Amino acid sequence: MLGVALSLAAAMGFAGSAVFARIGLQHVRPTTGTIVSLLIGISITLTLSIIFHQREIIALSGIAFLWFFISGVINFPLGRLLNYTGVSKIGVSKSTAIVGSSPLFAAILAVTVGGETINTLMMIGTVAIIGGVALIVGQR
């Protein structure tokens, strides 16, 4: 249950972030908003990481740093820039719903790269995601 509660809290945080980004993006370009957001996020995250997890960070292997680096480049600068650009062009509700289709891409990568298997519920969820995105994108 704790995992579900934390996931819902994260969803609320991401939703709030999109709304505040939309407000901020009325005054700056998405690239500027991304840079400001990343700098603030890096400073807070780095400080908390060093305070609470310094030993674990030092103990990480080089390959772990490489994977986290790749994930960080894809997720934070590139993902946030594309997200902010989408928010500025089509609005929060459409953009966040489309970004919410990330489980579809996560499932594809989990199967092709991570060696996971697909089950019936996963297929039903994937079809629901595709249908939802089609409804949102088809809206005028």
Question: Per residue in 2-11, pLDDT tens?
Answer: 999 999 999 8
**Residue in 34, 45, 121, 20 with CA at minimum distance from that of residue 83:** 34
**82 class by beta-carbon count within 10 Å (0-12 exposed, 13-18 middle, 19+ buried):** middle
Give the C-alpha separation, 74 to 30, whole Å: 17
pTM exceeds 0.85, yes or no: no
What tokens does 42 get? Answer: 């890096």
pLDDT tens-place string over residues 92-128: 989 988 888 888 888 889 999 999 998 999 889 888 9
Amino acid at 95: S
Q: How far apart are the C-alpha atoms of 133 and 99, rounded to whole Å?
A: 9
Eight-class DSSP state of 28 = S
